Amino acid sequence: MTLQHFKDLDTAKSTDSSIIIRCPFGSCNTRIIMLSEKLLSNELIIQNSPGMVQISDNTDSNPNSFFKLDDVWDFDNIGVSRPSSDIKQPIIEENNKVLNIKIERLLICSECDKGPIGFAGLEGEDTDVKNLKYFLSCSSVLYDIK
């Protein structure tokens, strides 16, 4: 298994290679989700995001890049923390519109329970946890190119 960082993905994204996003922790490397065109089209830059795990030799990548997912079941493996009210709120822009996302939980690896590798939040005044939006940090995971 050859694991790469987000900054090294440009050439692989343009080939027919399949890319699996994996947990960044060496003792784990659990499959989190398959990188797809849909996921790539939902890549956002998020200013003022909460602190995420940063991979030490991944310093050139943008720590503000996140993949947005609308459904927790899109993940192969992901853990979600208990609700928390003391996480700073990010500034999220999508399609030239600022989204008002209130962060509710942090995303962690479901196998090793380490993280955070992303966050989940509710849009606007919504309080229904079934409507959580998930944001996976592009620079907090590794990429397995097959």
Separation of alpha carbons 84 and 49, rounded Å = 15
On whether the CB atoms of residues 39 and 69 are closer than 8 A, the answer is yes
> 55: pLDDT confidence band, cut at 50, 70 and 90?
confident
Alpha-carbon distance of 107 to 138, in angstroms, equals: 13
- Sequence-distant (6+) residues with CB within 8 A of 37 are none
For residue range 90-123, list pLDDT tens digits in order: 878 888 888 889 999 999 999 999 999 999 999 9
Rounded CA separation 67/134 (Å): 8
Count the alpha carbons within 13 Å of 132 in the hemisphere toward its beta carbon.
Answer: 21
Segment 55-76 mean pLDDT: 82
* pLDDT the model gives residue 89: 79
- Per CATH, is 3-145 categorized as 1.10.3720.10? no
Q: Where are the domains of the chain?
A: 3-145
Q: Is 29 helix (H, G, I), strand (E, B) or coil?
A: coil
Provide the token pair at 120: 């989940």
Question: 105 near 10, Cβ under 8 Å?
Answer: no
Residue type for 60, please? Answer: D
DSSP 8-state code for residue 109: -
**Tokens at 43, concatenated:** 């890549």
Q: Supply the pLDDT for residue 50.
A: 85
